[in-house]
Structure formats: C-alpha cells, structure tokens
Chain A
Amino acid sequence: MSRPNKIPSCGGIGLKGEHYKAILEAKPDLGFFEIHAENYMGEGGLPHAYLTAIRETYPLSLHCVGLSIGGAKPLDQTHLARLKSLNDRYEPGLFSEHLAWSTHDVGYLSDLLPLPYNEKTLAHVCAHIDETQNYVGRQILLENPSSYLTFTDSTFDEADFISEVVRRTGCGLLLDINNVYISAHNINISAQAYIAAYPLRYVQEIHLAGHTMSLDDAGQPVIIDDHASPVVEGVWDLFASTIARTGPLPTLIERDDNVPALQELVDEAHFANGIMQRQTAGAA
C-alpha cells in the first residue's frame, strides 16, 4: 500500500512531539499533519522515526519558518538543500513559507519579521520564490503575515503585493485567517476588505490559530500571534465567510504553545470540517 500524498479539503493539525505515540495508537480522523520543516532538519533519531511511521497513514504539509523569503540577503543554500531533502524524503502534499524575513548580518533572527511592500521588496520576494521553486522542484504556497506595524516606505497594500507575487512567480497561497484577523485589529484595516481584495482563487491551504490580547509600549491594545490557545469565535466567523467564497480547503489548526491533549486539537479540526460542510451545503 502506498502512502497517501494528496491533502484532502478538510481539517488537519500541526504535528507535535508530545502527540507522536497517541497519534499512532489512536489514528485520529484527520486530513493531514503539518510539520515545521526546521524541526526535522536533524539527521535521524526518534523525530524522523515517528514522522516516517505517521506519514504511512497521513498526508503531510511541509511548512517552513526560516527561509527568509522576504529578506534582502541571498537565500541560505544549506537551508534550501535541507528543505529539498525533506521534500524528497516525505513527499508532502503541500509546501509553504511565510511572507517574512529572518536572516540578517548578525545571523538568524527567530521570528517572522515584516517587510515594507514596494517594488524593491517585490523583486527580492519574487527572486527568492523563483529560486526556491526551481531548487526544490515544486510550487510553494506563500503565507500572509500577522502585522503589528506598517512601514512608511510601503507603496502596495498587502493583498495587492501578494497578488503581484503570485502573478510573477506562479506560487500558490496559504491564507492564514488568524493573521488577517490580527493584522486588521493591529494596523486598523478591515478584515472583510482584506479578504475581498485577496486573490482567493490561488489559496490552497488555510491556517487557523489562537492569539492573545496584550498592550503595546504605548498602552494600546495589540493582538499577539502566539498559537497558544484555541481558535476564537471571530476567527471562525472569518473562516466561515471565506470558505463560503472558496469552497472547502485543507485547513490547519495551529498550536505551538500550551499544546493540549491530541483530542482537543482533533475536535477543533472537526469543528472546521463542520463549518466547511455547512458553508458548502449553504452554497449548493
């Protein structure tokens, strides 16, 4: 029996080490698992042994956090080689990275850092996506960031910038609905208007996650994208209205901190399935 490659249009969850055993025992009803590529760049050992076993039953989405596509510096060739090797080994159904940067002269900055949207950054992003797609030999999905601030040297709206990247590189898109919700609050834009301007027909995957309300240094409320809690109602609503336009899509429940028992995440993925079924039935 060959392992399943194509990711179905239903809910999946991020693969966490604390769930390895429970997944193999319970074989929960999930469309796919997603991994952070960087966590599997070790040469061997238990992480790869478990991933190999889980991959026998589930399709996989390979999600990168450290390629620094949005940076001005050349891509790290060693990192690209490791990505290609993971892609060849695990044959993921989807492959994605963020519209962000993380590599600077001082080394790797472990966050998804924002970039202004202008002709100069557009050229960098497109060149890096071309290079990655050529090197790895497949299409990459680009994920929209969560924003805390905007740049005075931006000349594009984010959705227009992303549309132009798709047009120039042929990449696909990963639409993070939680990020849209967060950005809308933090930089005072309309989430609905963002989605309306977004090139939805190129979206091949959705991300959903939790976030935390906080205060910035000026005492103003700011939403922090921390993936440390369940998806909130406002994000589910935005998901539902988006799905009504796109139809069902592979949908990931992201949880990277305060990781709960496996079943809790499976339930959230099933909740997403319920919304997708209702929205599709409503459209029919």
Chain B
Amino acid sequence: MHESEFATAIGQLEPSMGHPRFGIYRNNVASALTNSLRVSYPVVEQLVGPEFFGAMARDFIKGHKPNSAMLISYGAEFPEFISNFEHAASLPYLAYVAQLESAWWVAYHAADSIPLGREILAALAPDAWAETHLRFLQNTSLLKFEYAAVSIWRAHQDGGSAASLQVTSAEQALVCRDGHQVMVHGLTKDMYHFLNVIADGGTLLDAFEFASDFNAEFDVIAAVQQLFQFNMIGELY
C-alpha cells in the first residue's frame, strides 16, 4: 500500500481501498467516535438501545469529524442532529434528552469555580436589589424542552423510575455544578423565565417583572435564595 493513497482514503473514510486490511482502520476511527458519543449520551443510548444508537452515531460521524484530538468535546452537535434524524422522528423527546446530556457533559468537565455565598445579600442596601445584576458561573445552562426531558433523564438515573412519567409535558431545567457534582434542577416556568432574564443581563427587577407574567404570586426573595442554594452565582454587579 502507498502512503498517499492511504492518507487520502482514510481521510475521506472511503469504504474500500481494495486492501483487505484497510477496513480495520476505518472501523477503529468510527468505533472510537461512537464510543465517545456513548459516554456522553448514556440516556439517549438507553432510550433507543445500543444497536439503534450505533447506527445513528455512524450517520452523525459521517458529517461530523472531530476538529481536535480532545474527544471529550466531540459531539456537541449531536442533539441537533437527532432532532433532524428521520428514523428517530417517533421519539420527539429524544433530542431534548440529548440537549440535557450535552449540558451535563459540559458542566462535568467545566473549570472549577467558587460560587458567591448568600451572605453577600446581607451587604446589599434594601433598595439596591431591584437594580442588581447576577452573573451565573460559566458551568451553568438553562434549558427549555417541549417534552418531559428532565423526568425522562431522571427516570434513567440510578434508582430512577418511569412510573408517573408524562412524556408530553413541557419542562425546563437548570444544569449547574455544586462543587464537582453536576446538578440537574427541574424549573417551574416562572423560575425559568426569571433566570433567563438574569442570564441575558437583566436586573432582578426586570427578571421579577417578567416572571410575574407567568405567576402573579412569584416570590422574588425566595427565588434569589434558591439561586444561592444552587451555588450558581459568580458575581453581583
């Protein structure tokens, strides 16, 4: 076999070079990438089974080559790919579960950072809170699903149960880190919008007003305390 033929063919993952051993390299490349997706999307694999997952992964791999050897960052586009994958169209929640797992994986490997403690609130002047902004730690994600992705994901964790699962309920989630542990918190709609306004740079008053559109009784004090309990605040400004 000649070097230049080999490099070109393996680069394009051509099905055959005429060499009976060439397929070994092609399989190795594909199975390393498939395994990498299996590691970061374990619940998606449980939902569709290893065989279907393998076929879906191989389709994904054809159009998505990793751009670096750091495979822990491979597969960020997998949720979007799943949402357009016609063979999975009968599982409309699958792409949302993948989104949740993608956020989990990012948080898992994210830089360690130290959250602000709630004592900072005591230092805030009573009339200052309305104009206050909060910056979330970098390892947090806010997610909104048209299906019950959080409940489905939870049912597939150790000790989880799918007994009372309402697959078609829309859900919202916050994925963040507590120390080294990745936390997945289900959020009510008002709380999701409250957090979303803050994440977009709005003041606490902006966020409160927006959340109140979804829940006239929205308790902003309790909501802010909750955020500090989640250990997700990096800065007050």
Q: A45 contacts which of B67, B70, B180 (Cβ < 8 Å)?
A: B180
Majority DSSP secondary structure for residues of A touching B: loop
The number of chain B residues with a CB under 8 A from chain A is 42
Q: B69 contacts which of A46, A76, A106, A222 (Cβ < 8 Å)?
A: A76
Asked if residues A153 and B2 are in contact (CB atoms below 8 Å), the reply is: yes
Kindly state whether residue A49 has any CB partner on chain B within 8 Å: yes
Q: Given contacts A106-B11, A153-B2, is CB(A82)–CB(B20) below 8 Å?
A: no
Asked if residues B65 and A76 are in contact (CB atoms below 8 Å), the reply is: no
Q: How far is the CA of A68 from the CA of B3 in the complex (A)?
A: 15
Kindly state whether residue B199 has any CB partner on chain A within 8 Å: no
Residue of A nearest to B65 (CB): A107
Kindly state whether residue B220 has any CB partner on chain A within 8 Å: no
Asked if residues B21 and A216 are in contact (CB atoms below 8 Å), the reply is: yes
Residue of B nearest to A150 (CB): B1
Q: How far apart are B169's CB and chain A's nearest CB, in angstroms?
A: 31
Kindly state whether residue B160 has any CB partner on chain A within 8 Å: no
Q: Given contacts A43-B111, A150-B1, is CB(A78)–CB(B177) below 8 Å?
A: no
Q: How far apart are A48's CB and chain B's nearest CB, in angstroms?
A: 8
Asked if residues A79 and B6 are in contact (CB atoms below 8 Å), the reply is: no
Asked if residues B69 and A47 are in contact (CB atoms below 8 Å), the reply is: no
Asked if residues B24 and A222 are in contact (CB atoms below 8 Å), the reply is: yes
Asked if residues B70 and A217 are in contact (CB atoms below 8 Å), the reply is: no
Collect the chain B residues with CB atoms within 8 Å of residue A110's CB: 28-29, 32-33, 36, 66, 69, 71
Asked if residues B32 and A46 are in contact (CB atoms below 8 Å), the reply is: no
Chain B residues within CB distance 8 Å of chain A? 1-3, 6-7, 10-12, 16, 19-25, 28-29, 32-33, 35-36, 65-73, 107-113, 177, 180-182
Given A106-B11, A107-B65; 9 other pairs, CB 8 A cutoff: A38-B71, A42-B108, A43-B109, A44-B180, A79-B69, A109-B29, A149-B1, A151-B1, A220-B20
